[in-house]
């Protein structure tokens, strides 16, 4: 048996779409994980036209995933922080306070698009923050940082069902520690901002945590939790930028689509609860 999952932004999935797909593939009665946002149904085998339907639904802003129902429950959650578990890029918020917002935001956008080397871009951006009062970090956390909708519920549900929740960020521990605590993660990893005399020095701690750090974290934590050191997609849910998720999948031996491609368009993390935890109704 296979489980078919559809996810979109709020209001992005019409009931008739799910019903038509269920009938076309001979699926079971659909279960709505979040009204007009996430639904799933079971099918006996992988449909031959899956990829054509996947492409058609992408054009409608709907993500589609089919995975084996057996062993579907995830044992680990690994997530990005910036623009994922929170709604902002922390370095951009700091830069705005320092008066260099446009310069840093431009570098951030180019780095996220893969136009710049991440490590070099991070050093350059942090360098522009030299002299900023460290108390500004607390101000940004209090006034600018917002948690993603459903984030607490997602992490709590994963942990309740025995999963290990890890926040791994290319951002900074000055933020990830608070965010991890607020959302209930088991652990967090991020870069460090060097400070002296109550000011940022403009230096980021080495080695810099980038995409490779996510793979390393996946391997290390899986060993500590007595899971296999090589983790198939079936036991790890990833919530991060597409490029980073592709990088991880290639590193662990799956060069195809990012792990859990249905996460790409989900606007509310709460809508993903049934998908990553394999429950027909998430226990909110």
CA distance 74 to 273: 11
- Averaged pLDDT of the chain: 80
Predicted pLDDT of residue 111: 79
- Please state the φ and ψ torsions of residue 86, each to the nearest 5 degrees: -130, 165
CA distance 266 to 6: 10
Catalytic status, residue 96: no
CA distance 4 to 11: 19
CA distance 171 to 193: 9
Predicted pLDDT of residue 210: 75
Alpha helices in the chain (DSSP H): 15-25, 50-59, 90-98, 101-112, 118-127, 135-143, 151-160, 173-183, 211-224, 242-251, 273-277
- Among the options 14, 56, 63, 80, which is catalytic? 80
- Among the options 82, 96, 133, 138, which is catalytic? 82
Tell me the CA distances in angstroms from 90 to 23, 87, 220, one per residue in order.
45, 9, 26
Catalytic status, residue 82: yes
Predicted pLDDT of residue 223: 62
pLDDT in tens, 174-200: 999 999 999 999 999 999 999 999 999
Q: DSSP character for 270?
A: G
pLDDT in tens, 80-113: 899 889 999 999 999 999 999 999 988 988 877 8
Q: Which residues, 6+ apart, have CB-to-CB distance to 284 below 8 Å? A: 153, 270, 273
Does position 224 have pLDDT exceeding 70, yes or no?
no
């Amino acid at each position: 048996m296979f489980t078919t999952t559809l996810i979109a932004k709020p209001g992005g999935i019409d009931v008739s779409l799910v019903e038509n797909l269920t009938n076309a593939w001979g699926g079971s009665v659909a279960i709505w994980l979040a009204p007009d946002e996430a639904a799933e149904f079971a099918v006996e085998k992988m449909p031959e036209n899956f990829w054509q339907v996947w492409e058609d639904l992408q054009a409608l802003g709907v993500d589609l995933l089919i995975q084996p129902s057996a062993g579907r429950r995830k044992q680990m959650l690994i997530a990005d922080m910036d623009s994922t578990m929170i709604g902002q890029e922390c370095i951009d918020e700091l830069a705005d306070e320092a008066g260099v917002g446009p310069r840093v935001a431009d570098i951030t956008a180019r780095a996220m698009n893969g136009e710049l080397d991440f490590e070099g871009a991070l050093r350059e951006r942090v360098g522009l923050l030299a002299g900023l009062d460290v108390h500004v970090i607390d101000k940004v956390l209090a006034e600018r940082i917002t948690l993603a909708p459903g984030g607490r519920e997602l992490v709590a549900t994963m942990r309740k069902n025995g999963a290990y929740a890890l926040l791994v960020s290319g951002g900074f521990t000055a933020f990830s520690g608070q965010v991890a605590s607020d959302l209930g993660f088991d652990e967090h990893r991020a870069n460090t901002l060097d400070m002296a005399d109550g000011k940022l020095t403009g230096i980021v701690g080495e080695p810099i945590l980038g995409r490779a750090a996510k793979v390393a974290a996946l391997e290390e934590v899986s060993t500590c939790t007595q899971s296999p050191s090589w983790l198939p997609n079936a036991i790890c849910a990833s919530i991060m930028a597409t490029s980073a998720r592709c990088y991880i999948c290639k590193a662990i031996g799956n060069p195809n689509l990012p792990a859990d491609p249905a996460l790409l368009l989900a606007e509310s993390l709460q809508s993903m609860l049934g998908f990553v935890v394999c429950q027909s109704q998430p226990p909110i």
